[in-house]
Structure 1
Amino acid sequence: MKKFISTLQDIWKIDELRNKIIITLSLMVVYRLAAHLPLPGIDPTQLSGINDKTSGGLLGLLNAFTGGAFANASVMALGIMPYISASIVVQLMGIAIPYLQKLQKEGESGRKKINQITRWLTIGILIIQAPAYIVSLPSLGIPESAFLLGRGPLFYFSSILLLTTGTVFAMWLGEKITDKGIGNGISLLIMIGIIARFPASFMQEATSRVTQSNGGLLMILIEVIIWLLVILASVLLVTAVRKIQVQYARRTAAGNIKDVAGARQYIPLKLNSSGVMPIIFAQALMFVPGLLANSENNTLKSIGISFTDMFGFWYNVVFAILIIIFSYFYTAITIPTNKMADDLKRGGGFVPGIRPGKDTAEYLDGILSKITLPGSIFLALLAVLPAIITKFGVQPGWALFYGGTSLLIMVGVAIDTLQQINSYLLNRHYDGLMKTGAKRKTTV
């Protein structure tokens, strides 16, 4: 604890890092305050119905990503998710559209153009999602009396405009955090929205255990221990790498005329190279079967109903299979083994025992395929773990923190942010926050 306090003091001593953290926290507070601003014309005291509907299931997951703004009928009800959807679409389009492929190779200027395309696509998605959200409010449990000024054209126009503005504002906040603050702004906004639901979910679970004599404090302690173990497993999944040994025959040392022969390095191939993207892709597809619940055909309707329960058996079986498939798909399109092999060859490096060029690319691709299988299975198990946990009497809201997208986003963003803070500390010769980086303390 003493070392942790000392590290916090070191962080505060670095003016640039301190200012970045203050800016990040300030913008996150602004985002959370905006999430509690209800749409004009809606009585916030009559939203108990929508809160009940979003206590579990797919709507509960959407509500978790927006930090409760979805259930509050807030101006931030759609959160940052339309931007995430647009980013995924642009990324996938980059595989097939030559223009986007060209932009990806143009460096910073190309990245700015791709960001601009993503922003416009976000607005396009909002034009569809915002009206759909407003129209669905009565079916989500909001009574007619909650619409203080009725549901006329003025209400629809103003609400759609505010929902669009809210998401664009959230997108701007995320980009400002990335530019002026610390960490990835968009990811931090999603994480803070998820964490915002944590206290209420935990208190609901604790209350049900104590008041209903359902295990009491001992059961709560067991659940917390299991939760911490799941977090540990998630950290291992995010950080695990397979090191491919690389050797450079001749490399010139900086500031030295001599050549350094036989320098050895390695290529780190992640066990889970695709991160949470397979879960997000699979989650998006799992909304489609649920639409069949409104079908007039009894068979299709029963299938649709079974897929509206995110804690159901068949839902999670299909969900896990899709995650494994998308893990391979996303890894294949994001990890260019051919380019890695070419870059290695141009740099004078080679994998011991493997010929440079095509053979190296095939070798890297084979290793990547082998490690992706256990990584994808582990990812699928974490994704369906909330459904397993609920079978032991855990409340659905609290169960969502035992795995799935929520937990992996929190773990991934936390690790990424800590690594950035750690790099600032190490560059200034302070002990880092992370154990592996605490060996650079020197005297100046």
Structure 2
Amino acid sequence: MHFKTILKSLKNKDMLKRIFIVLGILVAYRLLAHIPVPMGDAKTFKDAVSSLISKSDFTGFINLISGGGLASFSIILVGLSPYITSSIVFQLLSKAIPSLEELSEDGETGRRKINQWTRMLAVPLAVVQSIAYIYILYQSVVSSNTLSFTPTPRDWVVSVITMTAGSIILMWLGELITEQGIGNGISMIIFASIISQFPSTIGSLGQQLFDTKNGSLNLFGWLNLPVNPVLFWVALALLVVVILILYWLVKLNEAQRIITINYAKRIHGNSAYGGIKSILPLKLISAGVVPVIFATAFLSLPALVGQLISSMDKENAMAKTISEIFTMPNASNFKTLYPNGINERWFIYPALYFLLVVLFTYFYTSIIFNTKEIADNLQKQGGFIEGVRPGMTTANYLEKVMTRLNLFGALALGFIAMIPFITDYVAIMLSDAPMGLSLSGTGLLIVVTVALENLRQLDSRALMVTYDDYK
């Protein structure tokens, strides 16, 4: 990374213009997060959303990547999840349908066409998700007897259209950011969404830190600091742990196995070409955070079904049990679900979560990394791995390497997803209450991945605008 070049590029007017445009778009996005959905009393629905987030890890994840849009019941409540879902669907279909696979390999034209179809599919998905969110929230409010009005069909239509429009506007803002060439727009919006949770967390921690009702911190008998002594050391330990985790996540995100590719030397007439070496980098975590999204969505389904059955039949014991088992244990629902303290049922959700993350990592990597296709392309280009025959032998070799990488990658991704549960368990053992971190290990992984990718793109743009300065 050329940080000196990036600083030097800030003297370029075009570079500054692009950066300010991106910052302006991100500010506009954060303003949208505070415009409520026109559906009666916004505060009533905000309370229902807060209750829903505490019961589901998936809705908590959606709230995280929407920058609190779900918790504030804003018009961007649906967020970018329809676009992300649509992208994953087309990514899977392009491997299952030969015509789509051929189109995806047809250069820039094919990719543009698939991107257009992805955006088109995201619109009906946004409509469906908007209806689902409104219906679930409405049922939640009705069951708690806090609804002061009955929505008319017009209210439903306006709310769904508004939420769908909010999702489409986010897609458009993402495209505008991408056009500036200093980062992926969708990733940058998700990055801004997660980062936007920091000020409230830091403010809450700071307020508790400077609360000296139970005494202040005395250092070495001569320096008295106006801070809570217990919370000071807890905050310091937490800061050290976060720094270590960030360092580990950077190393984990950049970890890759380098395979050397040799190209045979060829002679054509009087010219000789080939005889060079290249590399094939295989990432430790090729699947990114998609397995976590799949796992949270999969585990949220039983809890959602249980809640819907309970709202219709409050005496249904099985629905209540299913809902409790598949509800993510956290700080907001711990006292309700586990009034007598932690028990065996507390470990069921984390164990299933870890197992599903590992399984979906293997599944998604096998979809996006086609070893036979890579082996065929290498053979066509005259490339080979030293000591491995071209063709199926190369495909089997790559499959073996990826299986080994997947083992460590899947376990590492599973551990990242477990960070909130580990911290809560330690806090429960120490203070009989979960810590309730607002940022999970998955959120940190997204922040690290997007930050590194955007830094690379910014570095490339900086090299481009300062190229003429090199002599």
Q: TM-score when scaled to structure 2?
A: 0.81
Q: Which of these residues, 321, 324, 331, is aligned with residue 305 of structure 1?
A: 324
Structure 1: state its 5+ residue gaps: 431-440
Q: Give 1:133-282 correspondences, 5 Å limit.
A: 133-140=133-140, 151-208=151-208, 211=211, 215-250=230-265, 259=272, 262-282=275-295
CA distance in 2 between counterparts of 1:21 and 1:11 reads 11
Partner in structure 2 of residue 401 of structure 1: 439
Partner in structure 1 of residue 411 of structure 2: 377
- SS, match of residue 276 in structure 2: strand
CA deviation profile, 1:409-429 (whole Å, cap 9, x unmatched): 111111110011112233456
8 A Cα contact 2:46 2:72, kept in partner: no
Distance 1:52 1:280, change over 3 A: closer
Partner in structure 2 of residue 105 of structure 1: 105
8 A Cα contact 2:22 2:177, kept in partner: yes
CA distance in 1 between counterparts of 2:347 and 2:112 reads 44
Q: Which of these residues, 366, 376, 396, is aligned with residue 342 of structure 1?
A: 376
CA distance in 2 between counterparts of 1:116 and 1:128 reads 19
CA distance in 2 between counterparts of 1:60 and 1:355 reads 49
Distance 1:443 1:105, change over 3 A: closer
CA distance in 1 between counterparts of 2:64 and 2:83 reads 16
CA deviation profile, 1:392-417 (whole Å, cap 9, x unmatched): 3399786242402x122111111110
Distance 1:261 1:122, change over 3 A: closer
Counterpart of 2:33, as a letter, is A
Superposed displacement of residue 192, structure 1: 0.9
8 A Cα contact 2:6 2:462, kept in partner: no
CA distance in 1 between counterparts of 2:262 and 2:90 reads 37
CA distance in 2 between counterparts of 1:359 and 1:352 reads 12
CA distance in 2 between counterparts of 1:126 and 1:75 reads 12
Cα RMSD, aligned residues only: 3.0
Distance 1:93 1:443, change over 3 A: closer
Structure 2: state its 5+ residue gaps: 215-227, 331-345
Of residues 59-68 and 329-338 in structure 1, the stretch that sits farther from structure 2 once superposed is 59-68
Of residues 392-401 and 343-352 in structure 1, the stretch that sits farther from structure 2 once superposed is 392-401
CA distance in 1 between counterparts of 2:401 and 2:325 reads 38
Distance 1:134 1:443, change over 3 A: closer
Larger Rg: 2
Partner in structure 2 of residue 36 of structure 1: 34
Partner in structure 1 of residue 339 of structure 2: none
8 A Cα contact 1:20 1:180, kept in partner: yes
8 A Cα contact 1:55 1:397, kept in partner: no
Of residues 189-198 and 421-430 in structure 1, the stretch that sits farther from structure 2 once superposed is 421-430
Distance 1:429 1:301, change over 3 A: same
Partner in structure 2 of residue 14 of structure 1: 12
CA distance in 2 between counterparts of 1:217 and 1:99 reads 60
Mapped pair 1:365 → 2:402: no
Counterpart of 1:28, as a letter, is L
CA distance in 2 between counterparts of 1:94 and 1:390 reads 40
Superposed displacement of residue 168, structure 1: 0.7
CA deviation profile, 1:264-305 (whole Å, cap 9, x unmatched): 322111111111111111111111121343346534531331
Distance 1:315 1:209, change over 3 A: farther
Partner in structure 1 of residue 386 of structure 2: 352
Counterpart of 1:409, as a letter, is I
8 A Cα contact 2:176 2:185, kept in partner: yes
Distance 1:201 1:369, change over 3 A: same
Distance 1:72 1:49, change over 3 A: same
Mapped pair 1:317 → 2:351: yes
8 A Cα contact 1:244 1:266, kept in partner: yes
8 A Cα contact 2:9 2:465, kept in partner: no
CA distance in 2 between counterparts of 1:20 and 1:359 reads 48
- SS, match of residue 426 in structure 2: coil
8 A Cα contact 2:25 2:173, kept in partner: yes
Distance 1:261 1:60, change over 3 A: closer
Partner in structure 2 of residue 93 of structure 1: 93
Of residues 95-104 and 336-345 in structure 1, the stretch that sits farther from structure 2 once superposed is 95-104
8 A Cα contact 2:427 2:435, kept in partner: no
CA deviation profile, 1:225-266 (whole Å, cap 9, x unmatched): 1111111111112110101122223279xxxx8746743322
Superposed displacement of residue 326, structure 1: 1.1
CA deviation profile, 1:31-83 (whole Å, cap 9, x unmatched): 11111111235445556624642664523332222111112221111111111
User: Where in structure 1 do 4 or more consecutive aligned residues deviate above 6 Å?
Assistant: 142-147, 394-397
CA distance in 1 between counterparts of 2:394 and 2:244 reads 38
Counterpart of 1:75, as a letter, is I
CA distance in 2 between counterparts of 1:135 and 1:214 reads 47
Superposed displacement of residue 90, structure 1: 2.2
Mapped pair 1:117 → 2:114: no
CA deviation profile, 1:321-352 (whole Å, cap 9, x unmatched): 11111111111111122222222222222111
**Paired residues, number:** 425
Partner in structure 2 of residue 290 of structure 1: 303
8 A Cα contact 2:9 2:15, kept in partner: yes
8 A Cα contact 1:201 1:398, kept in partner: no
Of residues 232-241 and 180-189 in structure 1, the stretch that sits farther from structure 2 once superposed is 180-189
